[in-house]
Structure 1
Amino acid sequence: MLTLAALAACAAATGAADRITGHTFATRSEVHAPNAMAATSHPLATQIALDVMKAGGSAVDAAIAANAALGLMEPTGNGIGGDLFAIVWDPETRKLHGYNGSGRSPKSLSLAEFERRGLSEVPSHGPLPVTVPGAVDGWFALHGRFGRRTMAENLAPAIAYARNGHPVHEVIAYYWDRSVPRLSKWPGFREQFTIDGRAPRRGETWKNPNLANTLQQIAEGGRDAFYKGGIARTIDAYFKANDGFLSFDDLAAHEGEWVDPVSTSYRGYDVWELPPSGQGIAALQILNLLEPYDLKAYGFGSPEHVHLFTEAKKLAFADRAASYADPEFYRSPVERLISKAYARERGKLISMDRAMPAVEPGIIPQLNEGDTIYLTTADADGMMVSLIQSNYRGMGSGMAPPGLGFILQDRGEQFVLKQGHPNSFAPGKRPFHTIIPAFVTRDGKPWLSYGVMGGAMQPQGHVQILLNLIDFGMNLQEAGDAPRIQHDGSTEPAGQAEPMADGGRIELETGFPYETVRALMRKGHSVRFADGPYGGYQAIMANPHGGWTGASESRKDGQAAGY
């Protein structure tokens, strides 16, 4: 049952409470289906995923097909110019499998080159932040192990929509319009991603025949068509002509990596994330720090709830800034960071009465010298996929090679241009990554596949969804609709990585009581309201009575649906 505080806060956020039960009236009901379920940030992508599974495809086939469609339909968040991470529950082996499909920096680009150009940070757009795109490799790796239909069949729906067109959805149109002025200066963007120099409007038909041709080449020629064929040579020539460094050799050498997910327990639930180079273990650290507290008794939206969450986040993010990096260059002490003993030690720094203005990392490294899409699918055999894919900042770098119909990511912006930092730029290195899929098991059985897209909000969102489900008793849709907290201002693992000194800022979505805001201010927190930076949520839960339950983000265009 929800607490009164939760009811009040959620009712304020979503509009009302049910007149009969008094429970939160969410933006929509949970979705239930007996056979299969898909939850994505675009209704057409959700329908594609369901069509694939109805035709005999696995949850992995469905996820690939939906991801390909989202690269066309939601280029503001993802595409084949970006990276991919996934967690797959395999019902045959009853195991979780993780995939890190992130790409590396160009081997011909060096830290000295940034210094020569007088740069203290990697630029946000243009050729310098571009790293090898890993999404296509990720598709084929996942398909090779868990696919049932051919890749040509999986890519066919996206190819058809790219050729024939589809109406642009509202939230996507808004972000597309914001991106056009920033990115039109880069060669190939205006020609391939605008209509006479402007973004497509809500409901307007968008076609991308160049992307259709690229996907057709991949469908016919496999991953090598992208990394070792004509597509790679076009990318190579484009960067040579535009002061860039990404090369054919960088693409040809790319390999993603199967990794073992790591976990911690939270009140009897096993929460799984991927290890660095991503930030997933920050969510595990936060959960460990919060577990000793009776959040249910404090209530959703209470000063204690927001304060404890914020202080735990500060502690985890101090370690995130210091110790999360490409494991081939720095071996993060993951087991120690996600241990209960380490959480008990670090948790002593939390005061119930006062906000921490500054936080040092608990482990000092010993060196070894917004925008994203998330989707989840589940099939009739019990396979579940938690997949996240991104171009990093909005529509990416703005670099759109001619005739290919996609934009390269700007993930390299996440490097630090400082010698001796675990996340310091180096040739052939994977940058710190924000995109993280999540999974939860209980008693060795799959319970929840979910994610919350959106930069540094992602581990914060992962934790809040679980608190809402486990501590505050919300259902799957309510857990996503409830007003969110974002703490901003922690020391970052990217840019100039200046340490937090002022305690940062709590951003609260509409719906938290003003009594909570005043109490937080008395504890020394800086509190502000903000629109928009709270991420995007999709989830599928195993129904204990059989079948699946789905939920989708009310702040985006998405849909959860099943059959």
Structure 2
Amino acid sequence: MAIHLKLPLLVLIFLTTSVCAYDRITGQPFASRSEVIAQNGMAATSQPLATQVALDILKKGGSAVDAAIAANAMLGLVEPTGCGIGGDLFAIVWDAKEKKLAGLNASGRSPRQLTKDVFAKRGHNKIPKFGPLPVSVPGAVDGWFELHSKYGKLPMATLLTPAIEYAREGFPVSELIAYYWEKNVERIGHYPGFSDTFLVNGKAPKKGDVFKNPGLAVTYEKIATGGRDAFYKGDIARTIDVYMKEQGGFLSYQDLASHQSEWIAPVSANYRGYDVWELPPNGQGIAALQILNILEQYDIEGMGFNSSEYVHTFVEAKKLAFEDRAKFYADPDFNEIPVNWLISKAYAQQRQKLINAEKAATRVDAGIYEGDTIYLTVADKDGNMVSLIQSNYRGMGSGMTPPGLGFILQNRGEMFTLEEGHFNEYRPGKRPFHTIIPAFVTRNGEPVMSFGVMGGGTQPQMHAQIIVNILDFGMNLQEAGDAPRILHSGSSSPTGELMLDGGYVSLESGFDEAVQRELMEKGHTLRRVVGAFGGYQAIAWDAQKEVYLGASESRKDGQAAGY
């Protein structure tokens, strides 16, 4: 049936143009919406149902950490394409009472019975992406309980109940998650157990389909009643052990039973009066600090947002930081990582001298030392804040799906290299190099912002860009995340892959053609990519007005909300 509108021409013009971003009444034209503002609590996650669960926990008197755990459990159900209890977790927590930050490394180690020679015997010159060999111990559940033991207020059973109910009764799959679900089916859907858990009538659920995961509901119930040992020493661990042996894998009951997370001190670099905090390796967070230390030596504001001068400087700084990332970032239990040197201002001044303002570097070397993922953040009425990131790696993970448990085991072990003598060389019982990184900002010892950006190796680049957008270009919390992004790819990696001819630069929609031409004249290779620019959530604290500000950008299905 045709619908005929009889409206004045001016009204029709208004209706067809007023929805465009460039017609926003306030804020930058690229901003997707205004910041969310609330007084008592705030949650920002990559899926609205998880955000609502976090708010419900806050309203029940739960702490920021309580709400983050509940949201993470919910995301493991509604966004299995990016996370789940088969993966690892990292967190930075602002303790309002103690007025200090704490860091948690809840990443798991490689199987102790998997030796390096196994890869060669099976015909691998590098660790495979999927299947049983890249599986390492999942650390997320232990991370929940470590966080809860220090900062939790409500019982764990209360925190897991919403996800349990949704798992049993079902939830509607959102658009972007449905897209990635189908992509994961194409690459890991053939592994035993996957179809029984994640397919409906042999197919991935579509946008709006109501999906149930009764196996995950049972697993969460066991964890809720039996604690972390129900996962690492109970029936769940035994099921994983049997399944992995059947698949020719090495992750064992003993590996799970011996796992424990580690509380670590976050490290920081000061950027224009603000302390930016990251976790030290085995993660890649300090790469963001290295980039910022180099950029601080330039008049970034004077260059102008999205100018070719700024993009060139940013990319060259990133290349330098990522060469150090490729060489040094690894498990500190196996190597002495020179963290303080790498994030020092003196070292940044040395590295900055290598940047040519007119020409892109085709090859840079690491310094010589002389001496898809989910992110969420929650803040509570008492001023506590948590920055939490959790992942299976490569979307849904390894494909290894133990029967009846409702989740997939991670393939984070792929991030090891088999290169002899490398800091990140594979060893049994070792934590692999990690891409997932939470971040935090303070000023004069007070909290300013909790934030993170999902997306593998893009994360340090985007962390640095968020800080620059806010402190150099004066953007608000939402604008900083929505702004068009720069992505440099092709650097040397901790898995031993080398940068070729300077790599390539990808610019998100919104950069002028003139800027692109100027970059090519400087020697940059430009390549268009889609969907590789990450996904951002953030919460800021306005101490003067005593309100929280929240942001969740439009590249994901997420939501920031408060009360």
Q: TM-score, normalised by structure 2?
A: 0.95
1: CA distance, partners of 2:468 / 2:214: 44
1: CA distance, partners of 2:25 / 2:535: 30
Task: Tell me the CA shift for residue 21 of structure 1.
Answer: 6.0
Task: Tell me the CA shift for residue 363 of structure 1.
Answer: 2.6
1: CA distance, partners of 2:394 / 2:541: 33
1:273 equivalent to 2:273? Answer: no
Task: Tell me the CA shift for residue 22 of structure 1.
Answer: 7.4
> Aligned with 1:270: secondary structure?
strand
1:517 equivalent to 2:522? Answer: no
**Could you list the per-position Cα deviations for residues 238-295 of structure 1 after superposition, in whole angstroms to 9, with x for gaps in the alignment?**
0111101000000000011000000000000000000000000000000000001111
Tell me which amino acid in the other structure corresponds to 2:483.
A
Give the corresponding residue for 2:426: 425
Contact 1:452 1:538 in 2 (8 A): yes
2: CA distance, partners of 1:271 / 1:116: 45
Give the corresponding residue for 2:561: 561
2: CA distance, partners of 1:15 / 1:512: 17
Contact 1:510 1:529 in 2 (8 A): no
Contact 2:455 2:532 in 1 (8 A): yes
1:40-439 alignment to 2 at 5 Å?
40-363=45-368, 371-439=372-440
Tell me which amino acid in the other structure corresponds to 1:550.
G
Q: 1:253 to 1:23 in 2, by over 3 A?
A: closer
Question: Mean alpha-carbon deviation: is it higher for 92-101 or for 497-506?
Answer: 497-506
Task: Tell me the CA shift for residue 351 of structure 1.
Answer: 1.0
Give the corresponding residue for 1:505: 504
Q: 1:297 to 1:157 in 2, by over 3 A?
A: same
2: CA distance, partners of 1:480 / 1:363: 35
2: CA distance, partners of 1:517 / 1:304: 11
2: CA distance, partners of 1:498 / 1:395: 23
2: CA distance, partners of 1:114 / 1:125: 13
Q: 1:520 to 1:108 in 2, by over 3 A?
A: same
1: CA distance, partners of 2:480 / 2:114: 44
2: CA distance, partners of 1:468 / 1:292: 16
Tell me which amino acid in the other structure corresponds to 1:404.
L
> Aligned with 1:231: secondary structure?
helix
Task: Tell me the CA shift for residue 20 of structure 1.
Answer: 5.5
Task: Tell me the CA shift for residue 547 of structure 1.
Answer: 1.7
2: CA distance, partners of 1:517 / 1:114: 43
Contact 2:27 2:479 in 1 (8 A): no
Task: Tell me the CA shift for residue 527 of structure 1.
Answer: 1.0
**Could you list the per-position Cα deviations for residues 62-89 of structure 1 after superposition, in whole angstroms to 9, with x for gaps in the alignment?**
0000000000000000000000000000
Contact 1:375 1:386 in 2 (8 A): yes
Q: Identity of counterpart residues, as a percentage?
A: 65
> Aligned with 2:22: secondary structure?
coil
1:433-452 alignment to 2 at 5 Å?
433-452=434-453
Task: Tell me the CA shift for residue 501 of structure 1.
Answer: 3.5
**Could you list the per-position Cα deviations for residues 22-54 of structure 1 after superposition, in whole angstroms to 9, with x for gaps in the alignment?**
743521110000110000000010000000010
Tell me which amino acid in the other structure corresponds to 1:532.
G
Task: Tell me the CA shift for residue 121 of structure 1.
Answer: 1.1
Task: Tell me the CA shift for residue 17 of structure 1.
Answer: 3.4
Q: 1:533 to 1:365 in 2, by over 3 A?
A: farther
1: CA distance, partners of 2:78 / 2:325: 33
Task: Tell me the CA shift for residue 388 of structure 1.
Answer: 0.1
2: CA distance, partners of 1:452 / 1:15: 25
> Aligned with 1:133: secondary structure?
coil
Q: 1:184 to 1:16 in 2, by over 3 A?
A: closer
2: CA distance, partners of 1:168 / 1:488: 31
Contact 2:21 2:32 in 1 (8 A): no
> Aligned with 2:401: secondary structure?
coil
Contact 1:99 1:257 in 2 (8 A): yes
Give the corresponding residue for 1:39: 44
1:456-475 alignment to 2 at 5 Å?
456-475=457-476
Tell me which amino acid in the other structure corresponds to 2:548.
W
1: CA distance, partners of 2:328 / 2:46: 32
> Aligned with 1:529: secondary structure?
coil
Q: 1:64 to 1:514 in 2, by over 3 A?
A: same
Contact 1:365 1:422 in 2 (8 A): no
2: CA distance, partners of 1:396 / 1:56: 34
Tell me which amino acid in the other structure corresponds to 1:407.
I
Which consecutive unaligned segments of at least 5 residues does structure 2 have?
Answer: 1-18
**Could you list the per-position Cα deviations for residues 167-215 of structure 1 after superposition, in whole angstroms to 9, with x for gaps in the alignment?**
0000000000111121122110011110121100100000000000000
2: CA distance, partners of 1:16 / 1:211: 40
> Aligned with 1:180: secondary structure?
helix
Contact 2:288 2:463 in 1 (8 A): yes
Q: 1:222 to 1:313 in 2, by over 3 A?
A: same
1: CA distance, partners of 2:498 / 2:28: 42
Which consecutive unaligned segments of at least 5 residues does structure 1 have?
Answer: 1-13
Task: Tell me the CA shift for residue 103 of structure 1.
Answer: 0.1
Q: TM-score, normalised by structure 1?
A: 0.95
Give the corresponding residue for 2:11: none
Contact 1:537 1:553 in 2 (8 A): yes
Tell me which amino acid in the other structure corresponds to 1:458.
Q
Give the corresponding residue for 2:3: none
Tell me which amino acid in the other structure corresponds to 1:274.
L
1: CA distance, partners of 2:126 / 2:487: 24
